[in-house]
């Protein structure tokens, strides 16, 4: 209970300390430029109430009129000394005595009667006529008829000024009760202002910041801070910004806790740098090496040195380190460490091997053909041939395929000669090394060097290729007579017919299958006999450029047996005449009974289109029931029976069109079923 009471009191003192400024406005004078002033210039005098120097960079003096809300900012520079004064000159007139040398010069014109002055720890202008609650304000003075001031308790503004009088804070600038009226006196005439050269005046102790294991708290004096187990930071210090942030604290046993630096030291630990946080690899502890020796390192450094980190609490001298069979390990970064085989993340050199002499070097081929012995990391300008390789004999010359021959050259000389380097270790066994398959314009293939291939208008197929394993392009004929020079497999997969090696479209005339206009209006390339068997009309040219007559069923309403553009009772007799004949076959002349009802030959020619009510592509007895259903619930005029509509129809060659099933079967196609469409159907 006693401890809780003390800490509660300490928290209260922190609040008071946070409100008690380290620097005060010790004097204000606004008579400069007025009638018969004491001093030529307006000024604001500051006093350091602490025993430590305080930089003023980033701070500002801000002034507003008695009732105004626009603040004029004078940024500050320099340092105010311990217990010292700092003179800020503002606007000047012609009359009055000159000020002592100012420590900073501004240009704000201040009132010699009423106004507001603030010391702010930023250079951002204050907002509003009374920003007294702004946390960036270090000190504030409202004088004369000002509408804002420090008050504790009750309203109390500082006295009004004149051309000759100044405001002076009591006790040489030390008194600050947050009551402007009680803290300032009006002195007439204004006394000599003080600057950094003036005699310092130290205030009674103000209290300061104290670092505890749980963080920072303000205490009234050093004795109370240390009596509660804290670290005293000095009179006038504050907890804002926090001087006691936790850092990683490493203890001798390798354990770690996040503590304020001072608390870490008090508990026998070693504080880490600012911002550090405990992690598994931070604190030193016993590190065992394969030779049985022990060193103290953080775990990550221990592993980097080839050791094995021991558990937290392990201390060298108290931790036995067994001797482990190990050997040299060449790491990817080119370094060498002696570790057990299982801990080598590179190339293990064998049990008992060591790093002296360095086993991780190898031959490095430089672009000029020279060879040096180094690690893979040291061979950044060349090509590393591998650990254990050497420069005797020189392995750095390589086969270079030139336009007319092959030569063993350094890389840079090969490139300068317009050649193609074949890689370290390659040699020109014979001129055949650089020959490759060459596809000539006629589709034939020859094995030659690049220059000969290109001189004959051919296309080199790449180093190492041969005509025995290379297929060149050849003419590919399509059913519509078109031709393209393609590889045989490309020709087949695109529906073409390869014309054989050595052929090309420049000398090949591709045959074509003529177009066939089907009753649906669709054109399909078909032999004439097949075209006629499908009810089509053979054309003399392929379908490209051919316009066929429209779909036979286009514009026909399903169920409209009398072709009057409406499905109703008047279609019944006509429908009966049609179903008595059936379709297929499709007679060319309308029967007398159909004509006697008033039907026409043109309507009869399209009878499969209006008679196929069940949508199977035929007109027969199976259409009677759906026709009756349609008549019982006839569709609106201009609409056919809803039981049948257009669907995808597939034709030979993968061709698809959306037509009525009757039109599809009349044209030799295969209906794909109700609800299908060519956008979703792939025809074989």
DSSP, residue by residue, 136-158: TEEEEEEETT-S----SSS--PB
Question: Which segments of the chain have a pLDDT < 50?
Answer: 1-19, 431
Residue 244 near residue 261, CB atoms below 8 Å? yes
CATH for the stretch 21-187? 2.60.40.1260
In 3-state terms, what secondary structure has residue 172? helix
What residue has token string 């020959």? Answer: 435
Closest CA to 90 of 108, 76, 74: 108
Kindly report the pTM of this predicted structure. 0.34
Q: How would you class 589 by CB atoms within 10 Å of its CB: exposed for 0-12, middle for 13-18, buried for 19 or more? A: exposed
What pLDDT score does 193 carry? Answer: 97
Q: Would you state the torsion angle of the CA atoms of residues 173, 175, 179, 180, taken in this order, to the nearest 10 degrees?
A: -20
CA separation for the pair 531, 514 (Å, rounded): 10
Strands (DSSP E) contained in 458-610 are: 459-460, 474-477, 483-486, 497-498, 515-517, 523-525, 537-538
Secondary structure E strands in 510-606: 515-517, 523-525, 537-538
pLDDT of residue 20: 54
Name the residue with tokens 């379908």: 543
Q: Using alpha carbons, list the distances in angstroms from residue 219 to 2, 19, 24, 662.
A: 16, 14, 20, 101
Query: How far is the CA of 162 from the CAs of 108, 113, 286, 551, in angstroms?
Result: 17, 5, 76, 107
Q: Which pLDDT score is estimated for 433?
A: 64
Would you say 236 and 52 are in contact if contact means Cβ atoms under 8 Å apart? yes
Spell 378-405 as b/e; 16+ CB within 10 A means b.
bbeebbbbebebebeeebbbbbbbbeee
DSSP 32: T
- Residue 68 near residue 129 (C-beta atoms within 8 A): yes
Task: Say what the pLDDT of residue 633 is.
Answer: 94
Tell me how far apart the alpha carbons of residues 297 and 309 are, in angstroms, rounded to a whole number: 8
DSSP class of residue 433? G
**pLDDT for the residue 510:** 85
Report the DSSP beta bridge partners of residue 264.
Answer: none
> Domain limits of the chain?
21-187, 362-396, 551-644
Sequence-ordered strand ranges (E) for 149-230: 166-169, 184-187, 208-212, 215-219
Helices (H), 547-619: 572-581, 592-596, 601-605, 607-611
């Amino acid at each position: 209970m006693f401890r809780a009471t003390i800490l509660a009191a300490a928290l209260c003192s922190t609040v008071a300390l946070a409100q008690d400024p380290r620097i005060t406005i010790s004097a204000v004078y606004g008579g400069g430029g007025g009638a018969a002033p004491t001093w030529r210039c307006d000024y604001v005098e500051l006093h350091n109430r602490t025993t430590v120097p305080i930089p003023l960079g980033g701070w500002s003096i801000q002034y507003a009129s008695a009732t105004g809300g626009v603040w004029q900012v004078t940024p500050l520079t320099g340092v105010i000394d311990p217990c010292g004064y700092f003179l800020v000159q503002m606007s000047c007139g012609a009359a009055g005595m000159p000020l002592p040398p100012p420590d900073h010069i501004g240009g704000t014109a201040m009132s010699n009667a009423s106004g507001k002055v603030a010391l702010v720890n930023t250079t951002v202008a204050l907002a509003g006529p009374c920003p007294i609650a702004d946390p960036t304000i270090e000190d504030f003075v409202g004088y004369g008829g000002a509408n804002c001031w420090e008050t504790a308790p009750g309203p109390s503004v500082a006295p009004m000024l004149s051309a000759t009088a100044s405001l002076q804070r009591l006790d040489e600038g030390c008194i600050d009760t947050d009551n402007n009226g009680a803290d300032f006196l009006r002195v007439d005439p204004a006394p000599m202002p003080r600057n950094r050269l003036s005699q310092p005046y130290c205030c009674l102790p103000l209290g300061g910041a104290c670092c505890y294991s749980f963080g920072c708290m303000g205490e009234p004096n050093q004795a109370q801070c240390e009596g509660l187990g804290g670290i005293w930071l000095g009179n006038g210090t504050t907890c804002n910004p926090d001087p006691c942030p936790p850092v990683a604290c490493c203890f001798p046993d390798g354990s770690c806790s996040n503590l304020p630096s001072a608390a870490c030291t008090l508990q026998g630990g070693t504080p880490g740098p600012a911002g550090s946080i405990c992690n598994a690899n931070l604190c030193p502890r016993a590190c065992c090496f394969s030779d049985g020796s022990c060193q103290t390192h953080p775990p990550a450094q221990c592993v980097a040195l080839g050791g094995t980190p021991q558990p937290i609490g392990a201390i060298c001298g108290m931790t036995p380190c067994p001797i482990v069979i190990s050997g040299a390990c060449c790491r990817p970064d080119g370094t060498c460490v002696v570790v057990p085989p299982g801990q080598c993340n590179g190339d293990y050199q064998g049990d008992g091997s060591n790093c002296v002499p360095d086993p991780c070097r190898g031959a490095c081929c430089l672009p000029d053909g020279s060879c040096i012995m180094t690690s893979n990391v040291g061979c950044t300008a060349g090509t590393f041939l591998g650990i254990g390789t050497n420069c005797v004999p020189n392995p750095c010359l390589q086969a270079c395929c030139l336009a007319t021959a092959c030569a063993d050259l350094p890389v840079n000389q090969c490139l300068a000669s317009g050649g193609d380097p074949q890689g370290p270790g390659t040699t020109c066994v014979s001129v055949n090394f650089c020959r490759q398959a060459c596809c000539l314009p006629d589709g034939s293939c020859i094995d030659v060097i690049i220059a000969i291939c290109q001189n004959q208008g051919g296309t080199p197929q790449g180093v190492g290729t041969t005509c025995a394993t290379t297929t060149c392009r050849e003419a590919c004929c399509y059913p519509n007579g078109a031709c393209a020079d393609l590889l045989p497999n490309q020709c087949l997969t695109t529906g073409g017919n390869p014309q054989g090696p050595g052929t090309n479209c420049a000398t090949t005339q591709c045959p074509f299958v003529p177009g066939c206009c089907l009753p649906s209006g669709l054109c399909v390339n078909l032999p004439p006999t097949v075209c006629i068997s499908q009810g089509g009309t053979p054309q003399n040219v392929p379908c490209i450029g051919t316009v066929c007559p429209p779909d036979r069923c286009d514009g026909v309403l399903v169920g409209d047996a009398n072709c009057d553009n409406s499905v109703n009772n008047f279609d019944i007799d006509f429908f009966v005449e049609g179903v008595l004949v059936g379709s297929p076959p499709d007679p060319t002349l309308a029967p007398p009974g159909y004509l006697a009802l008033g039907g026409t030959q043109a309507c009869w020619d399209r009878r499969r289109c209006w008679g196929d009510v069940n949508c199977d592509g035929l007109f027969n007895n199976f259409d009677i029931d759906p026709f009756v259903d349609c008549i019982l619930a006839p569709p609106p005029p201009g609409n056919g029976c809803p039981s049948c509509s257009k669907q995808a129809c597939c034709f030979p060659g993968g061709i698809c069109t959306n037509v009525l099933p009757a039109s599809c079967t009349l044209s030799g196609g295969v209906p794909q079923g109700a609800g299908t469409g060519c956008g979703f159907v792939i025809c074989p």
